[in-house]
Amino acid sequence: AKLPILEFPDERLRTKAAPVETVDDEVRKLVDDMLETMYDARGIGLAATQIDVHRRVVVMDVSDDNSQPLVLINPRYTPIGDEKEPLSEGCLSIPDYYAEVPRFLKVQLNALDRNGDAYELEAEGLLAHCIQHEYDHLEGVLFVDYLSPLKRNRILKKMQKRHKQIQDA
Ligand SMILES: O=C(O)C[C@@H](Cc1ccccc1)C(=O)SCC(=O)c1ccccc1
Ligand SMILES: [Zn+2]
């Protein structure tokens, strides 16, 4: 099922997600709902935090034909080297805003897949960027937190206006 995505500055986005104890059918249903929600929203990643489920589950698909879904349960990453590069990021919880966020160039990802089996992979470029962006969501961190207070307030004002229009509509 398609699930509603929380939008900044909703405080629930600041919740720290809890580790998944057992990868059971309930977790697999959550993963399937998250993939459906992500593809429908034209995203390349989605963290459970964004659909108000505070468990450490992330889905991603950086392929251009939505053919490579990746499931990250209890993900951890380790930077490879300390080089960072800025990349323009979007966020499904901050629609229509993009900002350059410096992230590690290369990371090693460790996570459980949808069967609860552990895997690891080395990621760089957009995939590495997305892993760091989604991991932040599980920690209650949004990309606006890396911007200057001036820029962050400008986005906050615009989002509050947008939410007011939706209320008044
Ligand atoms: O809010 C999310 O977690 C999804 C977010 C993931 C992400 C995109 C770009 C860089 C890092 C993380 C999105 O998918 S936003 C969608 C979008 O604007 C976009 C899609 C492909 C490349 C760049 C941006
Ligand atoms: Zn995001």
Ligand 1 binding pocket includes 45 (Cβ within 6 Å): yes
What pLDDT score does 167 carry? 87
Could you report the per-residue pLDDT of 73-109, keeping only the tens digit for each?
999 999 999 999 999 999 999 999 999 999 999 999 9
Ligand 1 binding pocket includes 90 (Cβ within 6 Å): yes
Question: Given a cut of 90, is residue 141 above it in pLDDT?
Answer: yes
Considering the candidates 89, 120, 134, 139, report the single residue annotated as catalytic: 134
- pTM (predicted TM-score): 0.96
Taking the CA atoms of 149, 150, 153 and 159 in sequence, report the sign of the dihedral they define: negative
- Pairwise CA distance, residues 73 & 44, whole Å: 16
Average pLDDT over residues 148-154: 96
Taking the CA atoms of 58, 141, 16 and 90 in sequence, report the sign of the dihedral they define: negative
What pLDDT score does 12 carry? 98
- Mean per-residue pLDDT of the chain: 97
Question: Given a cut of 90, is residue 153 above it in pLDDT?
Answer: yes
Is residue 103 within 8 Å of 73, Cβ to Cβ? no
Ligand 1 binding pocket includes 34 (Cβ within 6 Å): no
Strands (E), 1-142: 45-47, 57-60, 70-79, 84-89, 99-104, 106-112, 118-124
- Pairwise CA distance, residues 96 & 118, whole Å: 35
Q: Rounded to the nearest whole angstrom, what is the distance from the C-alpha of residue 133 to the centroid of ligand 2?
A: 6
- Look at ligand 1, atom 12, and give the residue with the nearest C-alpha: 130
Could you report the per-residue pLDDT of 4-51, keeping only the tens digit for each?
999 999 999 999 999 999 999 999 999 999 999 999 999 999 999 999
Ligand 1 binding pocket includes 72 (Cβ within 6 Å): no
Annotated catalytic, 134?
yes
Is residue 17 within 8 Å of 55, Cβ to Cβ? yes
Which band of pLDDT confidence, cut at 50, 70 and 90, is reported for residue 168? confident
Q: Which residues pair with 122 in a beta bridge?
A: 108
Alpha-carbon dihedral angle through residues 152, 138, 9, 165, given to the nearest 10 degrees: 120
Task: Give ipTM to 2 decimals.
Answer: 0.94
- Look at ligand 1, atom 24, and give the residue with the nearest C-alpha: 90
